[in-house]
Chain A
Amino acid sequence: EAQVTQNPRYLITVTGKKLTVTCSQNMNHEYMSWYRQDPGLGLRQIYYSMNVEVTDKGDVPEGYKVSRKEKRNFPLILESPSPNQTSLYFCASSSGLAAANTGELFFGEGSRLTVL
């Protein structure tokens, strides 16, 4: 089954404690990205990757890091989480052609993060 898998789905942590949210896709997609969803703000892009070892900032990259060492994985790293990073996070992927043209994305189920 084609899917984007995120872990953990739910996490409560404390300010400053480094955490990583993993994302893996099994569709051999070149393009992967991370979004956060906040009330009244919709989905905002954090980082994206056009292919292995190619990453770039989205609209709200501050406080986040990413890496793309393998095609299937795109982890989101919060080096020193703060309460304003409490949010619902989505990983998404797309084939190269769709990524270049239509913007159609396949989303994971989301990771709800709470930073106390």
Chain B
Amino acid sequence: DQQVKQNSPSLSVQEGRISILNCDYTNSMFDYFLWYKKYPAEGPTFLISISSIKDKNEDGRFTVFLNKSAKHLSLHIVPSQPGDSAVYFCAGATGANNLFFGTGTRLTVIP
């Protein structure tokens, strides 16, 4: 049973525009939500996280929004750059030993 779902396997965006990656979850016990970025032939790298008690967290061009009532979170990248092209995984966590990943969304930023 997939506790975290990323329903869009891929997304293409023009350079300079906004990228919005979406994630839905079913487990209301998650304490944190995280986004990881993965380039080919590399391991995932941590991008940004948000506590379940917040609704927004911003770090430079990256902002994560959490809507607990809808069990939905999104990652906004503004402005998108070609170097942002990667696979993005969202995850819900109740600690590192209870970390559930989505299936990933491949973002392509077109120059």
A interface, CB within 8 angstroms of B: 4, 31, 33, 35, 40-45, 48, 50, 56, 58, 90, 92, 94, 98-110
Instruction: Tell me whether A103 and B42 are in contact (CB under 8 A).
Output: no
Chain B residues closer than 8 Å to A106, beta-carbon distance: 46
Min CB–CB distance A1 → chain B (angstroms)? 14
Among the 9-residue stretches B60-68, B72-80, B98-106, the one with 4 or more Cβ atoms under 8 Å from chain A is B98-106
Alpha-carbon separation in the docked complex, A36 to B37 (Å) = 16
Chain B residues 24-77 with CB under 8 Å of chain A are 31-32, 34, 36, 41-46, 49
Chain B residues 90-111 with CB under 8 Å of chain A are 91, 93-99, 101-104
Chain A residues closer than 8 Å to B42, beta-carbon distance: 109-110
Which of A40, A41, A94, A104 gathers most chain B CB within 10 Å? A104
Number of interface residues, chain B, beta carbon within 8 A: 27
Instruction: Tell me whether A100 and B89 are in contact (CB under 8 A).
Output: no
B interface, CB within 8 angstroms of A: 2, 4, 6, 31-32, 34, 36, 41-46, 49, 89, 91, 93-99, 101-104
A-B contact count (CB 8 A): 77
Instruction: Tell me whether A33 and B49 are in contact (CB under 8 A).
Output: no
Instruction: Tell me whether A94 and B103 are in contact (CB under 8 A).
Output: no
Alpha-carbon separation in the docked complex, A111 to B49 (Å) = 26
Instruction: Tell me whether A101 and B95 are in contact (CB under 8 A).
Output: yes
Instruction: Tell me whether A31 and B31 are in contact (CB under 8 A).
Output: no
Instruction: Tell me whether A42 and B101 are in contact (CB under 8 A).
Output: yes
Alpha-carbon separation in the docked complex, A56 to B95 (Å) = 14
Chain A residues closer than 8 Å to B104, beta-carbon distance: 42
A sample of 7 more A-B contacts (CB under 8 A), given A41-B103, A42-B103, A56-B97, is: A99-B97, A100-B95, A102-B34, A102-B96, A103-B34, A103-B91, A105-B44
